[in-house]
Amino acid sequence: MALFEVVKYDGSPDVFAWKYPNEELGTWTQLIVNESQEAVLYKNGRALDLFQSGRYTLDTSNIPILRGLINLPFGGQSPFTAEVWYVNKKSTLDIKWGTQSPIQLQDPKYSAFVPVRAYGQFGICIDNSKQFLSKLVGTLTEFDKTALTNHFRGIYLTRVRDAVSSYLIHNKISVMEINSYLNELSEFLKDEIQPTMAEYGIKLLNFYVSNINVPEDDPAVMQLKKALAKKSEMEIVGYNYQQARTFDTLESAAKNEGGMSGLMGAGIGLGLGANIGGALGKQMGELSKSLNPEAETVTCPNCGTVINHKNPKFCPECGKPFEKVCPKCGSKVVAGAKFCMECGEKI
């Protein structure tokens, strides 16, 4: 041992706690603590004192507890056994976190179970050195960023899963829309995790959620995205799911033998069976007209059904007979007449 041993630490900034390897000290030892550091002296598992930045000589004047723990010979100088721990008080803002496997969540908007992955980073600083060393570091000789991330992985992943799930359900936000709320979710998670960190003498400066995504090849995700794409397409075109199914039925029937006449018979049966009468007949008539825009159609004056026929005698929906009217003046025309009795227009 040197006559005047100097104890200091100039290692990596990623190290939060470091133990000086030599425990044989003396009351002549010089202790150097750099800026953003704190040193804690331990003997027999007991923290004797905490040293801020500066240069210190380990003697009984600045460590009064030592007098009762070591036998001092005449002259006041003596070797003794003790541990010196350095704690990095500098703020660390780039600690990465992420979910190793997807978290299964139920989408509160669409009720589908989808796997979710989350990524981000957080920042911390050691707020209480003695509490940090006693509750977290223990018998280790070094505690760095990797050790801290591994230690708290289970804690923050549990908090992330519960917080994301409760946040989505409380605010009725779909997993597919969550990336629009990352700032609010980050603040929410910081408030959730901070109390746990404080128990270990750590201050949580921030907790950022950088991205939340879902696996593109997951069957549930693929089905949900397909449904959302179809919904968007319908909204752009201007019709709903029920209308789309009716349109598909009409298009399929139009391609089969019998064409639109068979379709209208099926439509009438469907309308009567569903007890929706003229409303469906009118809708089907309009759709049939869109499928065959060149066909001549008439509208029943009684129920409003659009009929794909030039001169129907009766309405296939309500059964009311059609009366001929003059195409020029609109007057009723007697059956069999060749000219209008009002204006003389040829029928």
The one-letter amino acid code at 329 reads C
Question: Is there a contact between 120 and 210 (Cβ–Cβ < 8 Å)?
Answer: yes
pLDDT exceeds cutoff 90 at 206? yes
- Tell me the domain boundaries of the chain: 6-88, 92-220, 239-322
Structure confidence at residue 61 as a pLDDT band (50, 70, 90): low
pLDDT exceeds cutoff 60 at 213? yes
For 36-123, where are the alpha helices, taking DSSP H only?
66-69
Structure confidence at residue 268 as a pLDDT band (50, 70, 90): very low
3-state secondary structure at position 49 = strand
Angle in degrees, 0-180, between the axes of helices 145-171 and 182-198, rounded to the nearest 10 = 130
Q: What is the pTM of this model?
A: 0.59
Q: Which residue has the higher pLDDT, 317 or 145?
A: 145
Which pLDDT score, from 0 to 100, does residue 124 have? Answer: 94
**Contacting residues for 50 by C-beta, under 8 A, at least 6 apart:** 38, 39, 40, 41, 129, 130
**Mean pLDDT, rounded, for 166-190:** 85
* Cα distance between residue 174 and residue 227, in whole Å: 14
**Mean pLDDT, rounded, for 36-63:** 83
Percent of the chain with pLDDT strictly greater than 90? 18
Q: Which residue has the higher pLDDT, 309 or 22?
A: 22
Residue 239 vs residues 137, 193, 244, 247: alpha-carbon distances, Å:
64, 46, 7, 10
* Cα distance between residue 58 and residue 60, in whole Å: 7
> Range with the lowest mean pLDDT among 11-15, 135-139, 185-189, 277-281?
277-281
Task: Name the phi and psi angles at 237, rounded to 5.
Answer: -70, -35
Which pLDDT score, from 0 to 100, does residue 149 have? Answer: 86
pLDDT exceeds cutoff 80 at 118? yes
Structure confidence at residue 295 as a pLDDT band (50, 70, 90): low
**Mean pLDDT, rounded, for 281-286:** 54
- Identify the H or E element spanning 60: none
Q: How many CA atoms lie within 13 A of 42 on its CB side?
A: 18
**Mean pLDDT, rounded, for 250-270:** 51
pLDDT exceeds cutoff 80 at 337? no
pLDDT exceeds cutoff 80 at 261? no
Which pLDDT score, from 0 to 100, does residue 201 have? Answer: 93
Average pLDDT, the chain: 75
Which pLDDT score, from 0 to 100, does residue 346 have? Answer: 84
Structure confidence at residue 276 as a pLDDT band (50, 70, 90): very low
Q: Which residue has the higher pLDDT, 214 or 220?
A: 214
Q: Which fold has domain 92-220?
A: Tetrahydropterin Synthase; Chain A (3.30.479)
> Range with the lowest mean pLDDT among 38-42, 190-194, 270-274?
270-274
Q: DSSP for 151-213? A: HHHHHHHHHHHHHHHHHHHHHT--GGGGGGGHHHHHHHHHHHHHHHHHTTTEEEEEEEEEEEE
Question: Is there a contact between 53 and 106 (Cβ–Cβ < 8 Å)?
Answer: no
**Mean pLDDT, rounded, for 59-78:** 57
Structure confidence at residue 55 as a pLDDT band (50, 70, 90): very high
3-state secondary structure at position 321 = strand
Residues 182-192: tens digit of each pLDDT: 898 899 889 98
